[in-house]
Structure 1
Amino acid sequence: MDLELTPVGDGVRFAVFAKPRASKSRVLGVREGALEVAIASPPVDGAANVELLKLLARGLGVPRRELSLVAGEASKHKRVLVANLGVSAVRERLATMLR
């Protein structure tokens, strides 16, 4: 997995490439250092962002409140921060999501 994970305080930040209006919400893989994620919701009124964070929270096994979108609110290229987890834990959990 060539996903760049950056430690930030007590959490980890990583890039996400979101593909809204997909047939199903799921993690597709890693693309150019970013986690590629298909999102069923359209990018209207933040619906795709909410669904993205819920999907990642479920896959990482953390409460939704532990995730935040720190960049790219209106872009396909986003940055997500996972609070209270270290790089190794995030890497392991994302690897499980990619299987």
Structure 2
Amino acid sequence: MILSLRDAPGGCTLRVRVHPGAKHNAITGTHDGALKISLTTPPTDGRANAALIAFLSERLHVPRAHIELLTGASSRSKTLRILGPTAAEVETALLTDLA
């Protein structure tokens, strides 16, 4: 497994590294096991966190309410809980964008 994904009760956890204020919303690679995601939203008032959840919700086809920010509310490094899909399913869905 390339990403730091772990199965958890009812779903999995995912580590991400966010680059807010970018030109495009995109998955841009991995770094130390964390998924690198660029977002156009600036990092003010939690807007980048909301944009991250919306971005992942769309990519994984899960409701936004099924993605929860566990750590890193004011940091670029974050850990999220994703309810529903397994770690393997999330990895497959996200890494197909990098291929």
Is TM (by shorter chain) over 0.5? yes
Counterpart residue number, 2:44: 44
Q: Which AA in structure 2 matches 1:35?
A: L
1:97 positional shift: 2.6
Q: Give the match's secondary structure for 1:50.
A: helix
Partner of 2:92: 92
Secondary structure of the structure 2 residue equivalent to 1:24 = coil
1:98 to partner: Cα distance = 2.2
Amino acid at match of 2:45: D
Matched residue type, 2:86: G
Counterpart residue identity of residue 95, structure 1: L
Q: Deviations over 1:33-55 (max 9, x none)?
A: 00000011111010100101111
The 5 Å alignment of 1:60-79 reads 60-79=60-79
The amino acid across from 1:2 in the alignment is I
CA-to-partner distance for each residue in 1:44-67, whole Å, 9 max, x for gaps?
010100101111111111111111
Give the superposed CA RMSD: 1.1
Counting aligned pairs with the same residue, the percent is: 31
Which structure 2 residue ranges, 5 or more long, are not aligned?
A: none
Please state whether the residue corresponding to 1:98 is helix, strand or coil: coil
What is the identity, as a one-letter code, of the residue corresponding to 1:27? I
Contiguous gaps of at least 5 residues in structure 1: none
Question: What amino acid is the match of 2:2?
Answer: D
